[in-house]
Amino acid sequence: MSQKTYTFPSQLGRLIEHLPTWPSSFTFACVLDLALGQVIRRGDLQALYGKRIAIHVTDAGLRLHFTVLSSGFSAAKGNIVPDLIISASAYDFYQLAMRKEDPDTLFFNRRLVVEGDTELGLIAKNTLDAIEYPLLKLECVSPLHLLKTMKKRLWI
C-alpha cells in the first residue's frame, strides 16, 4: 500500500536554498519559543545550552540554524558549523510535529537523518517525546502575534 506524501516543488526549493538563512532562522526561533516555552522547563534543555543546531528541510531547500540558551531559543548564523544537523522532507517534519510518525521509524527508514553529535540528537528527541502538548491556540501563531513577539525580541 502506497501512502500519498507531499513533496515541496523542486523549483521553489532551489530558490529558497539561495536565500539568507538568518531571517527564517530568527522566525523559527521565535516560533519555538512560543510553541515550546510554556511546555518545556528551561532546565530540561540544559544539555543543549550553547549548542548549534541546524534543521534542514531537504525538499524545500530550507536551513534553520539556532542555539538553545537558558533564556530560550536564538537564531544563529548559518556560516557556523552546527553541532547537530537534523534533515528530513517538509512532509516528514510535518508528520513528526503532528505526532503522526515516530522519529525512530523515520530514522530507521532513512527519512530522518541525524548528523554530528548524535547524543545531542537523542537528548532533543527524548525531551520532545516526553512533552504533553496542549491544544495549539491558533492566535499564538497568527502573523500579528508572531510580529509582536519578534518586535519585542529585536528591541528589548
Q: What are the angstrom distances between the C-alpha of 144 and each of 8, 98, 135, 136? A: 26, 23, 20, 16
Which has the closest alpha carbon to 17: 70, 74, 73, 57?
A: 57
Q: Alpha-carbon distance 112 to 107, whole Å?
A: 5
Domains of the chain: 10-155 (3.30.1050.10)
Q: How confident is the model at residue 44 (pLDDT cuts 50, 70, 90)?
A: confident
Residue range 147-156, pLDDT digits in tens:
777 777 676 5
Q: What are the grid coordinates assigned to 1, written together? A: 500500500
The answer to whether the beta carbons of residues 69 and 92 sit under 8 Å apart is no
Q: Against a cut of 0.85, is the pTM above it?
A: no
Place of cell 547537530: 84
pLDDT of residue 135: 47
The answer to whether the beta carbons of residues 115 and 85 sit under 8 Å apart is yes
